Structure 1
């Protein structure tokens, strides 16, 4: 009996370590979000990007602990410490891991609304999304209420909606939540003047590239550690993530005509798209998924910015929203046995699940940002925007010595 107890404890401990390492890798991705935004925005808004990301992370941490995780999974930590240490504290580290997913939502939105959004209203919006909006959808796909929606998908499409690591649950939700915020805010000053588009150049290609690299490395924790337990780890998930990433890079290199911004975002496009089906696709299917995702981003970004005139600074709607939706659908294509996949997935269910996320996110975001816009306001005034969010909100620039006289 002692030997059996020791084995059980050891297994629980390895699962805790496995998931904790994954959580740390995904936590590190938030540095990637920060540097990606800092490299894209103008120098006068770089401090704001850093402070937004770490503040949103901190607020998400406490609210997902108290509200979001219990809402999604029915597990509360409002009890003595000894009572939440079952299985070496697995539920606690599982919360940590899934918090890193939940906190991606405000981090994604941050890139779309950059350079002209008020600070505290956006923190409030991110808090609502991390505490309530995201966990509600999470509960319907992965959590305690999954049967409510999954039974419907299965009855209509013949299989449950499959989203292994969050193409739809995380990225699509984040990107489609960002769209109403960007629309309500309107474009930055000088971005569109009368009938002409005036693209605003990025400030720092090395920072942008660093952000992409940090995100890409952390993504292997995002995808591989979604197994949740060491004995369920899959080498297929790791290689599919790799193949989708390099598919995204190469396709963006061609479609984007060597543009470094497209190349580094192409890597992210591939990784976003493969999350849903990374456990069931053949590596060549994952490569194709990543290639298509990058092409969607390159042309989608151009259509968004120049045809629709939507000033989404980092292109988070096409990158996370549209490509996240593509990832959900792609799992229903390249996950099929006829295309070398593992099977057990339905194109119809994948399409329905992806559409459900779009509707849910758009409705939620229009409500939240609509109310904030009509009450406290969500945009800096013209003088504040002209001076830059760094000085207007934080009273210091990215290079303080430049302001010393």
Structure 2
């Protein structure tokens, strides 16, 4: 018996009262728990939906920023070449984008991301047939990368290359040369990320955003084209290079800054995740290398000639950007600065080597900026990468798996060397063969009289600046 304030309550009655209360409370509690569980599930689904939407928007936005880089390439190229070829260069770059969109839809995506055959090539999804609706965001982001390689070739071969011949080569670059190597690196089933080579070395090849896939492929394809097409008339006198000034440094510098802005999408978007916690660090590394590259070239040219060279300094910034494109998601910020500084040395030495030793005529320095600096970017992964599970990018899925030489690793460096050699051989050899066959069927170089007069009038029947053209 229980006694409360002198009120005596029999024990049996107290037990029955408690039982009644429990029967009244328990259904309410069960319902509440069930409702809470449903609310938690719905909130989780809502959060996941927002995260997915954010990633889709991030990739579309970054793709748009990369698309704008074609305007940057156009301005750099016309700024560093002569006024009589401005319209021709603008048309080449414009049609590179237009052809690139269609060709990547027809076959580029299929070869790069279709069902794998022997680790070499994709064999389905031509015309994007059979793809899920979710794939189109990825297609858009990858397509804007694809045309960039051909644009690199355009600048290196400017002022003497046939417009028709260039358009045909663009189709082959976007539809075959670029996507085959891209399949090796980015498809997840290619020979540089899985299979015998990787098994033998112990770690997969790493190119975060395209130092090799985009820039080396474009740069060493350009080297093949420049070797075949030869220098512009008047570029070399008695074996020594002659400076042929571009007609507008303001346009060249504006184009350089637009390209630099494009790397926000180029590298930042390559996280492929709008919710990634390291996007800021990836972009910071990118621009630390860019600034360091420009500073290094400024200092070199200032010390060697007594005056800082504007166009080479601008190329120093681009070289830093190209070099950091592969390692930006795998290295510390101090390493990004070092990578940029060395890229500045490489681009300056590369331009001098091309002109004075190889006697190559590259009006915009594309081979040194994209080819040589891209190669340095690939090697720098094997030197400076912190390694997956370590340091600041410890839980990032896209960081290099192996540690670099500075952190005691050797495997990552080894696979990077293999991938670099394969990129050079594939881009240079296949492009040279294509250029050679193409030249035999349709002359790749314009006739001497048309080159002297300028390609604007011959190819397109108009000048970019008609008010400055004197009547005949």
* TM-score, with structure 1 as normaliser: 0.93
Task: Give the corresponding residue for 1:327.
Answer: 377
Task: Give the corresponding residue for 2:401.
Answer: 344
CA distance in 1 between partners of 2:244 and 2:213 (Å): 31
Cα drift, residue 48 of structure 1: 1.1
Deviations 1:122-160 (A, max 9, x none): 110011010111111101100153256543443343311
- Aligned counterpart for 1:382 among listed residues 448, 460, 469: 448
Query: Does 1 or 2 have the higher relative contact order (CA < 8 Å, sep 6+)?
Result: 1
Cα drift, residue 259 of structure 1: 0.6
CA distance in 2 between partners of 1:147 and 1:309 (Å): 35
| Contact preservation (8 Å) 2:192, 2:419 | no
- Quickly say closer, same or farther: Cα 1:293–1:278, change in 2 above 3 A: same
Task: Give the corresponding residue for 1:289.
Answer: 339
Task: Give the corresponding residue for 1:50.
Answer: 90
- Structure with bigger gyration radius: 2
- Quickly say closer, same or farther: Cα 1:78–1:47, change in 2 above 3 A: closer
Task: Give the corresponding residue for 2:172.
Answer: 128
Deviations 1:69-119 (A, max 9, x none): 111111737578xx75x5xx4311211111111100110000100000000
| Contact preservation (8 Å) 1:16, 1:90 | no
Task: Give the corresponding residue for 1:251.
Answer: 296
- Aligned counterpart for 2:457 among listed residues 391, 397, 400: 391
- Aligned counterpart for 1:314 among listed residues 346, 357, 364: 364
RMSD: 2.2
* TM-score, with structure 2 as normaliser: 0.80
Tell whether 2:287 aligns with 1:242.
Answer: yes
Cα drift, residue 341 of structure 1: 7.5
Task: Give the corresponding residue for 1:70.
Answer: 110
| Contact preservation (8 Å) 2:74, 2:89 | yes
Tell whether 2:181 aligns with 1:137.
Answer: yes
Task: Give the corresponding residue for 1:272.
Answer: 322
Cα drift, residue 198 of structure 1: 1.8
Deviations 1:253-285 (A, max 9, x none): 111221111111111100100011100100110
CA distance in 2 between partners of 1:173 and 1:313 (Å): 19
CA distance in 1 between partners of 2:384 and 2:428 (Å): 27
Where does structure 2 lack aligned partners over 5 or more consecutive residues? 1-37, 115-123, 303-307, 394-399, 403-411
Task: Give the corresponding residue for 1:181.
Answer: 225
Q: Secondary structure at the match of 2:342?
A: helix
| Contact preservation (8 Å) 1:111, 1:314 | yes
| Contact preservation (8 Å) 1:304, 1:310 | yes
| Contact preservation (8 Å) 2:192, 2:205 | no
| Contact preservation (8 Å) 2:235, 2:361 | yes
Where does structure 1 lack aligned partners over 5 or more consecutive residues? none
Cα drift, residue 45 of structure 1: 0.8
* Higher-helix-fraction structure: 1
Q: How many pairs are equivalent?
A: 400
Aligned pairs for 1:76-95 (under 5 A) are 76=125, 78=127, 86=132, 89-95=133-139
